[in-house]
Amino acid sequence: MDTPPERKLIIAIDGPAGAGKSTIASRLARKLGYTNLESGAMYRALALKAIEWDVSFDDEAALLDLAKKSRIKLEPSLGGNRVLLDGKDVSARIRERDVSEAASRVSVNPKVREWMVDRLRELGTGGGVIMEGRDIGTKVFPDADLKIFLDADPVVREQRRLDQQKIRGPSAEATAAELRERDRRDRTRATSPLVPAPDAVIIDSTNLPEDEVLRRIEELVEQKLTQTRS
């Protein structure tokens, strides 16, 4: 008898900025042959459009309208997701400071979130995906096969972000302060705040090398796959 093809899992990785989600999701995806999807890039693309069209980050109805008119596409690639907004590659632009701040503010609006959650579910249905963000395990895929909440000490996360973006000197403190503010907003917003799902495995990467974080998650994936085979 033929063995059935292995079931493709949905893996959710949530956590604050600078915890290492994107790097881990992209390495894990490569190892498993899965697709990694950065949900934050969708919020960032919409935020960029709001900046370009001069739409207020608090105007929920106008933002929803803008979202419906936008074509936002995530194209997984080896170095992370390539992001197309209305056909234009905005992958680098959406990582800039003004867009980071705008994305966090835009994502507070419940109707914008509802729209995003629907889009993200469409992208993940079928499995074989690692989706990272803030509410993947709690809201987008509450039935995900595996939920990881990746955290780290705030000072360490700030330093990682500054190193990643090669920021030194006077703008370092401003960037760190923005990250703290974004964190506070993401954790305290009324709709889908950043919290671990009750059944998430919490990994604190403060003192863990990246390879060790990856190893632990791979072990959990293997356990899950063994369960689905039996």
Residues in touch with ligand DC (CB under 6 A): 17, 39-41, 43-44, 103-104, 107, 133-136, 182, 186
Name the residue nearer to ligand DC (CB basis): 67 or 103: 103
Tell me the closest approach of the beta carbon of residue 107 to ligand DC, in angstroms: 3
Beta strands in the chain (DSSP E): 10-14, 35-38, 72-77, 80-85, 88-89, 129-133, 146-151, 201-204
**Which residue's structure tokens are 């109805």?**
61
Pairing mode, if any, of strands 88-89 and 80-85? antiparallel
**Which residue's structure tokens are 């106008």?**
62
Name the residue nearer to ligand DC (CB basis): 27 or 44: 44
Tell me the closest approach of the beta carbon of residue 22 to ligand DC, in angstroms: 7
Tell me the closest approach of the beta carbon of residue 208 to ligand DC, in angstroms: 20
Tell me the closest approach of the beta carbon of residue 3 to ligand DC, in angstroms: 35
Q: Which of 72, 110, 80, 126 is nearest to 190 (CA)?
A: 110
Name the residue nearer to ligand DC (CB basis): 99 or 221: 99
Name the residue nearer to ligand DC (CB basis): 137 or 145: 137
Q: Which of 181, 43, 220 is nearest to 173 (CA)?
A: 181
Tell me the closest approach of the beta carbon of residue 189 to ligand DC, in angstroms: 8
**Which residue's structure tokens are 């899992």?**
9
**Which residue's structure tokens are 């949905």?**
10
Name the residue nearer to ligand DC (CB basis): 158 or 186: 186
